[in-house]
Amino acid sequence: MKQLPILLILLLFVSGITFAQKDFQGMAVYESKTSTSEFKSRLQGNKDITPEMQKMIEERMKKMFEKTYILHFNMQSSIYKEEEKLDTPGQQQGGFRMMSNMMGAGGTYYKNIKDKKYTVDREFMGKEFLVKDTLTNYKWQMSGETREIGGYMCYKATAVVPVSKTDFKNFRLKKEDTKEKEKSTEETTKKTSFLDEVDIPKEITLTAWYTTEIPVSQGPEGYWGLPGLILEVNDGRTTILCSKLVMNPKEKADIKAPTNGKEISQKDYDETVLKKMEEFREMNQGQGGKRMEIRMGR
């Protein structure tokens, strides 16, 4: 029994050496799922949509809102990218392809926690952008709650963050009676925009579960800043959960920032997206607008 503390010290020492190695690397697989119940209820209430069309739309929405991502990380940086899959012909066309791009599909999300910078390549409406900016400084509130994820003891942390106008995952469709009431007022005051069709919360609460057994301040997408790898994070509508972890994989990933695309700040990119969305909406006004609403999953 007297040897037990010494054994524990040795184990911790060996573990510390493993994570301190310059060539240390880890790989995590994450499953991302976004709630679509609101969209489904709106579809069910649309008399213009046949049961066959509704089934097709729901299947495409599932592919758009349920994705698998791979995170390669070391002590300083990481790359986060959607798992490559062969798409069925016609599966990602028209409004669904554009919506998928707006949801952040594709591209490589690189973050450097030492420099507190990130770089992500985005494709939007046929153009490539290279978004470079400063990582969000999450003000995490630690909790005493714990749970096990994949055999790792995890701790709960929460943070309240503002919502970007291009964070389409957190948009809420307005109720029809609210839209009609606002429409009658706006017709005599100002021109409407596509943002008038949705409710955008000012802020959301993030809930993250991290493990100190992997002492790297990394996580999926742009999440970071905790004393351990984030294995699960939820923003109210989307849950990203780690399903597989590999420490020091045999095949090392090249953890470098993407370089393709027009360099732009996050603020300028958001403004570009909103402007293009407005132009797209105006272009489809009066010519198949109702059809576009159906194709966009409304």
Tens digit of pLDDT at every position of the chain (298 positions)? 444 455 444 444 444 445 656 678 999 999 999 876 656 555 566 666 777 776 776 677 667 778 999 999 999 999 999 987 665 444 444 455 555 555 445 689 999 999 999 999 998 888 899 999 999 999 999 998 999 999 999 999 999 999 877 777 766 666 655 545 555 555 544 555 555 666 677 899 999 999 999 999 999 999 999 999 999 999 988 999 999 999 999 989 999 999 999 999 999 999 998 888 888 777 766 555 444 443 433 3
For residue 54, the Cα-to-chain-centroid distance in whole angstroms is 25
In degrees, rounded to 5, the angle at the alpha carbon of residue 241 between the alpha carbons of residues 139 and 230 is 35
Gap between the Cα atoms of 142 and 70, Å rounded: 26
C-alpha distance from residue 69 to each of 34, 75, 129, 200 (Å): 14, 19, 20, 26
* Token pair 């507190």: residue: 116
Indicate the domain borders of the chain.
12-295
